[in-house]
Amino acid sequence: MNIGGGIGIVYNPLEQEELDIYMMAQLANEYLEEFKARRGYLPLLYIESGRYVTGPHGVLVSRAINKMDKYKTFVGLDICDAADILRAPMYPAHHEVSILSPSGEEKAGDLMETVSLVGPLCENMHMISNRELPIIDEGDFVVVHDTGAHGIAMKMNYNGWGCSQELLLEEDNTVSRISRAETIGDLLVRETSPMHMSKQY
């Protein structure tokens, strides 16, 4: 028996409640035992648990590189939403955001502003739109939470942008790189040209 699409996580604490997985397991056991009593056998139960396991344990860290006030306030980031966090602008999906100063201190308090966080692509999709956040200055770190699932796993190289590196924070607080950032060479490695176009003139 496959009950499908996975166990959700809390992306927006103001609107969502955490699933009681223990209650879910208890109810599943009760239903399975009832099924066994009526049918004479116990079916196998499958569920996709990837997001529940990995989702809350990933963050996307970027840096604010510019800021522009037009018809609204935009903060430009040094990451690409399509390559690193496509689910946010595509669905659109909510992700909590923290702002840290260049020294790593979290910004919080009364000084807030409504901004849209954008990447470098020439598209009108924004990673985070019209969100009230602590005032962001150039050089601040912008941390997007709960990106351990459906983050880089959904990446694409639209407009020739490569995805970021992935780092692992271990239990002893050491940091290891588990995936390097994509390069232009990575994006071009599959490109080929017909022989008649490869001649030198």
The per-residue pLDDT for range 168-199, each reduced to its tens digit, is: 999 999 999 999 999 999 999 888 877 777 66
Which tokens hold the place of 161? 């942008």
Matching residue, tokens 């499958």: 46
58: nearest Cα among 157, 169, 139, 134 = 169
Which residue did the predictor score with more confidence, 156 or 170?
170
Q: Given this model, what pLDDT does residue 88 score?
A: 85
d(CA 159, CA 122): 8
What is the rounded CA–CA span in Å between residue 45 and residue 23? Answer: 16
Predicted local confidence at residue 200, as pLDDT: 57
47 or 113: which carries more pLDDT confidence?
113
User: 125 pLDDT exceeds 60?
Assistant: yes
Q: How far is CA 135 from CA 56, 58, 142, 146, in A?
A: 25, 24, 11, 22
Supply the DSSP symbol for 13: T
Domain residues of the chain, as ranges? 1-55, 58-186
- Report d(CA 164, CA 149) in Å as an integer: 15
pLDDT at 110: 78
- pLDDT given for residue 95 in this prediction: 93
pLDDT value at position 199? 62
pLDDT over 80 at 117, yes or no: yes
**What integer is the mean pLDDT of 118-129?**
82
Is the pLDDT at 111 greater than 80? The verdict is: yes
**pTM of this structure:** 0.85
* pLDDT exceeds 60 at position 201: no
Residue 40: its pLDDT value, please? 96
Q: Above 90 in pLDDT, residue 59? A: yes
Element at 61 (helix H, strand E)? strand 60-69
CB-facing half-sphere around the CA of 134: CA atoms within 13 A: 19
CA–CA gap between residue 201 and residue 196 (Å, rounded): 11
**pLDDT category, 31, cuts 50, 70, 90?**
very high
| 79 pLDDT higher than 70 | yes
Closest-CA residue to 43 (of 1, 86, 87): 1
**CATH node for 58-186:** 2.40.37.10
- Which tokens in the block code for residue 19? 């699933």
